[in-house]
Structure 1
């Protein structure tokens, strides 16, 4: 919210108040002598002397929720209807702050362009919990304290009650949620570590996986159900049998010059690890930095990592490897894209 500027001198008697407007708002009423302006005909005129009620009313208006006045950028606020649709897991009363508003680029850097409606554009609006939130496990235990130097923010994303949504699973979860919200549900399909494909449309029709060792077959085992609850059950199935090897085998392998929001670094293994590129920014010299996020073991809140140093939470992308706080360096050959 813009700060109100104090006037050096009060307006003269009978002067019309100047509107301090935000889009769709009416004008502020001067605490001094002014005649009612056309946009607010119901305001009573003052009579040439200071009116304390006017300032009281003015500040009351400033405290109205974001529906009436612009909330301070990056501060927690109720999720909008659009956000509740785009991030379908959010409860109706969610209080969030979008990633793009909460984490500014380093000085001298600007965010790189992204295609409207893309996975990268969607990630820029990823809802975050209030500043000072710790990372909790699926059982509610504290994993990272809110003041941990390696932690920049915690996403407002449920983790479930089972030890399933770990690192690769979190990357899959966010990509799947984007496809779900974007009306591209026919594209929802991820591979188990065995290489077998788990397709949402098939699951929604009632087919269920029978897993025997490394063999997977699909049989009709349930009534058709394309609900949100069924979608989450399908995701838990994917999390059970997919992992870092599943992501590492993807054919999308962008070059370091082409890295963009929505890409991810993955090193397959048991255990392996994966971190998601949430955003990318560049400066005039062409140097780039990235925001990185991860889930981890045990299953825990998805969180935005912090690099520290001169670029704050943003990680430099100029080296031969990308160094993160919880795993060995990721070489550029480990970069993947859905």
Structure 2
């Protein structure tokens, strides 16, 4: 994005509905970091990794597009976008030793090991780590590590996450996932509550093909989704059951 274009944060760009206030989050949490997520100018379309338009900027299903590169390959899809944002939060806080995500096979891929030169050799569901690379801790190496994770992780691996908060405990930074090939996952970017205790959420997603991470709406330019029904209904996927809620 051009330096002459002011960056909008998620928190500044999208206010809660009347009568609702944002829930409190810890200052150093993933949810607090997401409130500062930079957004591209209003009217920016969603584009895929080849630059093709997926959603026009004036689509009633589109609230905003994040200022986040999607890479040059068809890798950073829905689950990968959640991993990317979570990893960027840890990277920004200097907590790089916590950056680690599981492949669909269940094997854990640690950034710290990758930075020391370990590389994954994958044969079917078998993964071996071999010291074939050189030590590298640069930003470029970090992006290469993430592309490796995107290649072998997905909705099935995110679905197996052990942290499964109850619906009543939803927090910004949680996600809801339907594992499959393909499956789908959406990130809870924000939670707001009213005096009656009713909650609404902002949701973001990547998708297939790999494309810009987007804050989407339920149509008619309304980006806030009710958290009170029997299931979470979105315009891009089958309704998600509340049992699909996960936390990294």
- 1:241 equivalent in alignment to 2:164: no
- 1:145 equivalent in alignment to 2:56: yes
Pairs within 5 Å for 1:195-234: 195-234=106-145
What residue is the counterpart of 2:244 in the other structure? 334
Q: Do 1:308 and 1:314's aligned partners in 2 also have CA atoms closer than 8 Å?
A: no
Match of 2:96 among 185, 206, 224: 185
The Cα of 1:201 is off from its aligned counterpart by: 0.2
Structure 2 residue matching 1:114: 3-state secondary structure: coil
Structure 2 residue matching 1:329: 3-state secondary structure: strand
Structure 2 residue matching 1:328: 3-state secondary structure: strand
What residue is the counterpart of 1:255 in the other structure? 166
Report the structure, 1 or 2, having the larger strand content.
2
Larger Rg: 1
The Cα of 1:185 is off from its aligned counterpart by: 0.6
**Between Structure 1 and Structure 2, how many residues are aligned?**
248
- 1:292 equivalent in alignment to 2:206: no
What residue is the counterpart of 1:312 in the other structure? 222
Give me the whole-angstrom Cα distance separating, in 1, the residues matched to 2:5 and 2:170: 32
Q: TM-score, normalised by structure 2?
A: 0.97
Could you list the per-position Cα deviations for residues 280-320 of structure 1 after superposition, in whole angstroms to 9, with x for gaps in the alignment?
001111111000000000000000011246x9210000001
**Higher RCO structure (Cα 8 Å, ≥6 apart):** 2
Q: Do 1:189 and 1:198's aligned partners in 2 also have CA atoms closer than 8 Å?
A: yes
Match of 2:47 among 118, 126, 136: 136
Give me the whole-angstrom Cα distance separating, in 2, the residues matched to 1:299 and 1:102: 25
- 1:125 equivalent in alignment to 2:29: no
The Cα of 1:214 is off from its aligned counterpart by: 1.1
Q: Do 1:96 and 1:127's aligned partners in 2 also have CA atoms closer than 8 Å?
A: yes
Cα gap change, 1:263 to 1:147, in 2 (>3 Å): same
Unaligned runs of 5+ in 1: 1-89
Could you list the per-position Cα deviations for residues 27-74 of structure 1 after superposition, in whole angstroms to 9, with x for gaps in the alignment?
xxxxxxxxxxxxxxxxxxxxxxxxxxxxxxxxxxxxxxxxxxxxxxxx
Match of 2:105 among 180, 194, 202: 194
Give me the whole-angstrom Cα distance separating, in 2, the residues matched to 1:273 and 1:304: 15
Structure 2 residue matching 1:239: 3-state secondary structure: helix
The Cα of 1:91 is off from its aligned counterpart by: 8.1
Q: TM-score, normalised by structure 1?
A: 0.72
Give me the whole-angstrom Cα distance separating, in 2, the residues matched to 1:235 and 1:153: 24
Unaligned runs of 5+ in 2: none
